[in-house]
Amino acid sequence: MPRFKLLALGVSSFGYRYLARPIFFLFDSEVIHHALTRAGEWFGRYSAARSFLDRLWRVESPLLRQTVAGIDFRTPVGLAAGFDYEGRLTQILPSLGFGFGTVGTITNKAYEGNAPPRLGRLVQSRSLLVNKGFKNEGIKIILNRFAARHFASPVGLSLGKTNTLEIKNQAEAVADVVAAFRQAEAATQPNFAYYELNISCPNLKGNIEFYEPEHLRELLAAVTGLRLHRPLFIKMPITRSDEETRAMLRVVSTFSVAGVIFGNLQSNRQDPSLQPAEVARAGKGHFSGRPTAARSNELIRLTYREFGERLVIIGCGGIFSAADAYTKIRLGATLVQLITGLIYEGPQLPGEISLGLIKLLRRDGLNHLAEAIGRDA
């Protein structure tokens, strides 16, 4: 690795943590999110800006490159659904060091989001309180925005149920999700690489859920019945028991699904990684970041042991370092995704993780990332 890039990553990390982050954290989380996504969109428009950031933060190596579900991933580090729900960052992601990223979650109809505040920081707990409830502009606007756009690295589209009480039962919910997939499938552009089906957002209205095996079976039968042109991954909850998770995975494994993502937000306010004083001040919503890490890791291991020959696993939840990502990989994850680590550690984090993974593989005498997958399962 060129010495300049090592220096650039180190200086960027220091500058973010001790200069930029203290200023950002003075302001409302959603205001800063809006400002930073617009800034990322602006930088992504210009090749000179992308090239400059490439030199600073982009880390790639043959040790990390993989083909998964027919898709070429230059690094295993992706941006999870939930951050770029307006599709502003697709052009800048590779220059930030991401190997892939997901837009969304997007729904059939637009939703302005749950009542604010929709985002909050729990700094000591290394977490974000999230209550957006699939805030998005709707599938039609998102597809129109990307109609003439090419992606330099794999970009996925996360789809879910429109967050409205007008949807009164399971059949209507399934029809709503299928309508979004139909529109995505009908669009010849953009060149999305994969789909995520988000069945696990805990901040939605109504009592409709897809955790019951028969409910999940109905949904997957309808979605896969469209004969999708892109691989499908299922975004899974971390709030179900092992046996409930097994039941869901048994259903998933019977359909044309490439893999699963573990997982989504933590709803347990007594999780030991949460600081009680911060939780007491927190409003409505559920927790990302460190409170999701342990359960995510447990479910990655469970899935790899029992379904690893059938399903690819993407590890998501509580990744703040290369060591965090490597733990998930050794438990069975082929790829990893993050959001909260980016907020706390800075935009150079994906490059730092890739660089750290290279070092960890060499430390362990491994010649490729694939050799590490599942070693500790």
Mean pLDDT of 88-93: 93
**Model pLDDT, residue 188:** 66
Residue 1, pLDDT above cutoff 70: no
pTM of the model: 0.94
**Model pLDDT, residue 202:** 65
Report how far residue 81's alpha carbon sits from residue 236's, in angstroms, rounded to the nearest whole number. Answer: 12
pLDDT digits (tens, 9 = 90+) for 230-258: 999 999 999 999 999 999 999 999 999 99
**Model pLDDT, residue 375:** 97
Which domains are seen in the chain, by residue range? Answer: 3-371 (3.20.20.70)
Report how far residue 42's alpha carbon sits from residue 172's, in angstroms, rounded to the nearest whole number. Answer: 39
pLDDT digits (tens, 9 = 90+) for 119-166: 889 999 999 999 887 888 899 989 988 877 788 899 999 999 988 778
Cis peptide preceding 202, ω within 30 of 0: no
Residue 193, pLDDT above cutoff 80: yes
| Confidence at 203, pLDDT banded by 50, 70, 90 | low
Q: Strand pairing of 119-122 and 100-107?
A: unpaired
Taking alpha carbons only, the member of 198, 220, 212 closest to residue 133 is 198
Contact 315, 331 (CB under 8 A): yes
Report how far residue 158's alpha carbon sits from residue 79's, in angstroms, rounded to the nearest whole number. Answer: 12
Contact 214, 170 (CB under 8 A): no
Contacts 24+ apart (CB under 8 A), 185-188: 185/226, 185/228, 185/229, 187/143, 187/147
Q: Which residue matches tokens 């837009």?
A: 103
Could you tell me which residues come within 8 angstroms of residue 59 by beta carbon, excluding any fewer than 6 positions away?
A: 1, 5, 9, 75, 97, 351, 352, 354, 355, 358
pLDDT digits (tens, 9 = 90+) for 287-329: 999 999 999 999 999 999 999 999 999 999 999 999 999 999 9
pLDDT digits (tens, 9 = 90+) for 38-54: 999 999 999 999 999 99
Residue 204, pLDDT above cutoff 80: no
How many other β-carbons are positioned within 10 Å of the β-carbon of residue 78? Answer: 25
Burial of 302 (0-12, 13-18, 19+ CB in 10 A): buried
